[in-house]
Amino acid sequence: MSRLNLKFNGRFREPMLDGTKPCTLRRGVKAQVGDVFPAWEREWQVTRVDAATPAFVAKHYFREEGFETPADFLSFWRKIYPRGSLKTPHTHIWFARIA
């Protein structure tokens, strides 16, 4: 188990705290199961890590990522990674469940 320093956009504070955002995406492997990190007045633990494509996450997990629609998720992803993983459809990102 490691203690991590993960950063989160302020828009995710309430969804994380109220439990509607039980996961986080990263472009590289940033966490392993059992790792912990502080965010928004509490400690979080990584419970699962899987590889996925941005399109898969947009289709199946946009709500768990804190977005209203798949398009909202993809628009945000493009803003934070303008030259990134959406241009290559099979690029994997890391999808970590947190509790």
Give the domains, in start order, of the chain with CATH numbers. 10-98 (2.30.130.30)
- C-alpha separations of 56 from 44, 46, 59 in Å: 24, 20, 5
Task: Give the global pTM.
Answer: 0.86
Q: Which residue has the higher pLDDT, 92 or 39?
A: 39
pLDDT for 34 equals 98
Q: What is the pLDDT of residues 41-74, one digit of tens each?
A: 999 999 999 999 888 999 999 999 999 999 999 8
pLDDT at 89: 60
Question: Could you give the dihedral angle defined by the CA atoms of residues 75, 79, 82 and 87, in that order, rounded to the nearest 10 degrees?
Answer: -20
Per-residue model confidence as pLDDT tens digits over 70-94? 999 989 988 887 766 565 666 788 9
DSSP H or E run through 93: strand 93-98
pLDDT band of 39, cuts 50, 70, 90: very high
